[in-house]
Amino acid sequence: MNTAGVRPKAELGIFYVAMVSTAAGFSVRNLPSMAVEGWPLIFWYVLGTLLFLVPLGLTAAELASTWPRDGGVYDWVAEAFGERTGFMSVWSIVVLNLPWYPTVLAFVAVSLAFGFDPTLQDNRVFVAAVMIAIFWMLTFVSLRGPVAAAKFTSFGTLFGSIVPAVVLIGAGIAWIAAGKHVALPPFTLAGLVPSWDLGRIPFVSSLLLAFTGLEVSGFYALAVRNPQRDYPKAMLLALLAISGLSIFATLAIALAIPADKISLSGGVIQTFGVIFGAFGIPWAAAVLALLTALGAIALMCAWLVGPLLSLSAVARHGLLPPVFRTLSARQVPAAIMLWQSAVVTIIAAAFALVPSVNQAYWILTAAVTALLAFYYLPIFAAVIRLRYTQPDTPRPFRIPGGTAGVWLTGGTGFAATAFAVLVALQRPGNVTFVSDGVYVAAMIVLALIWMVPWAVFLAVRRASWLA
């Protein structure tokens, strides 16, 4: 074991960086919920791309290529606002992931059941066992080091997200070519414009939050061969992949299945069954379900190592106890990773086996969404501030447009994040036992509770913690 920030072997090129970013920002499992929009889905995806995805990609490209360090987001934010704020940003994403992992694990378990034996989808013991086994498998893969984790993520993204999306697009083309009934009305420019009312605001918020994660490859900076050259190119590739695959794969679903027949609960698995059943190849739906499960596993793997590596960097700056900075011979924080897996195991078991905790669990998940503000707002603010505090630092990639360009980019991302998080905290229609004000206040308090350890660590820090 060691505590130093030794650089791991730099093996990752543009492809791996782009795949890690694509894994975090794109998932086939989210497509059916957008397909119900019909032709306006193109408008919504373009809006989300312009308001959040593009600003995030440009911001990550400038920060990652200029400060390619093992702390990733921690170092970007610390350069602009100091170590405490950098620590705050990273801590928020680490604790936000804890209740998020079980939601993805549940999707993986149901997808695997559909692929092998659909009757297992309602077997709580099976679902819990698969959830726990998959997460521990991911943990052991990640313990092999950042390069191994990135390569596994890339493999899973290629075959579990990109391939199913491309197959869906191909199925949509085949659907039209075969003369099957097209669920969408004839295309017109006017048809791209959605109907608008205040009830659409939560939908826009959820769309923006669905594009989070493009910056995650920044956590793997020291494993990249030439980060100054490769990060900007990888960000562009990931941005095009996320936006393009989202639009065309969702259109394929909307072409084949009428909006009122798309099952939001059954999701993408039901969609595969309908489309490939119509072509007389129902077995393809099971294959696609298994591949989609692989894509979800890759999504989790993209997040599993990086934020914990950032905590190791935080610890080397004396803001966390020494146990957080201890790295294994393969340059991963093994002890903290195992503790994380233990916590997720407990949460996943409760989520899958105890029906009575589900409502409380979803309230908790809604509450931690507020932590995205602690994570993303400092990132967008940092790219602006650093143009003023470190104007002469060489930047292999600069956001185009000079000062106005960086303000437009960072400001748009900042505003979109603030809007999305605030709207996400609003009281759902099915929660009627409290007022709007009480609900929002409760969500904020629940979110802040997750940040208490961050404040405690800062309050009790010792000089002996400094590496």
For the chain, which ranges sit under pLDDT 70?
1-10, 197-200, 202, 222, 263-267, 355-364, 428-433, 467
As a whole number of angstroms, the distance between CA 165 and CA 32 comes to 12
pLDDT of residue 27: 84
**CA separation for the pair 221, 349 (Å, rounded):** 34
Per-residue pLDDT tens over the stretch 394-424: 998 999 999 999 999 999 999 999 998 888 8
Cβ within 8 Å of residue 347, ≥6 positions away: 98, 99, 101, 102
CA-derived radius of gyration, the chain:
22
Q: What was the pLDDT predicted at 2? A: 47
Token digits for 167?
């197959």
Report pLDDT for 266. Answer: 58
| Axis-axis angle for helices 83-116, 283-304 (nearest 10) | 160
Does residue 88 contact residue 377 with C-beta atoms inside 8 Å? no
In angstroms, the CA 71 to CA 75 distance is 5
CA distance 364 to 218: 28
pLDDT digits (tens, 9 = 90+) for 256-296: 888 877 766 556 777 788 888 888 888 888 888 899 999 99
Q: For the domain 14-465, what is the CATH superfamily, name and number?
A: Amino acid/polyamine transporter I (1.20.1740.10)
Query: Could you give the dihedral angle defined by the CA atoms of residues 356, 360, 361 and 362, in that order, rounded to the nearest 10 degrees?
Result: 120
Res 1: pLDDT: 42
> For 61-92, b where at least 16 C-beta lie within 10 A, e where not — what string?
bbbbbbbbbbbbbbbbbbbbbebebbbbbbbb
The pair of structure tokens assigned to 185 is 């009305």
Tell me the pTM: 0.88
Q: Look at residue 13 in the predicted model and tell me its pLDDT.
A: 83
Structure confidence at residue 5 (pLDDT): 47
Structural domain boundaries in the chain: 14-465
